[in-house]
Amino acid sequence: MSQVFSEETHRNMLARIPHCTGREIADWLRTVEEGPALRFEEKVSWLRHEYDLAYGHAKAIIHEYDLRRAARKLL
């Protein structure tokens, strides 16, 4: 079952990811961009298994990737 994060929780999670993973959000977003074309939960699972991330961190990265991708389409 998916967790649903508030906007504040999502921002807090993103702020902690560099400390917890040793990589900046921009690096993770590039990794997702270059990774396999999968659906949301499949991308989360891929990040978790490929990079040994916690579920919440992987979900926050994929959610942020989707938000930024959607914003680019609006421009």
pLDDT tens digits, residue range 13-65?
A: 999 999 999 999 999 999 999 999 999 999 999 999 999 999 999 999 999 99
2 pLDDT more than 60:
no
Output the pLDDT for position 4: 66
Output the pLDDT for position 74: 77
Gap between the Cα atoms of 2 and 27, Å rounded: 24
For residue 73, name the pLDDT band (cuts at 50, 70, 90).
confident
Output the pLDDT for position 1: 41
Gap between the Cα atoms of 51 and 54, Å rounded: 9
State how many domains the chain has: 1
Domain residues for the domain of 21 are: 3-74
- 0.85 exceeded by pTM: yes
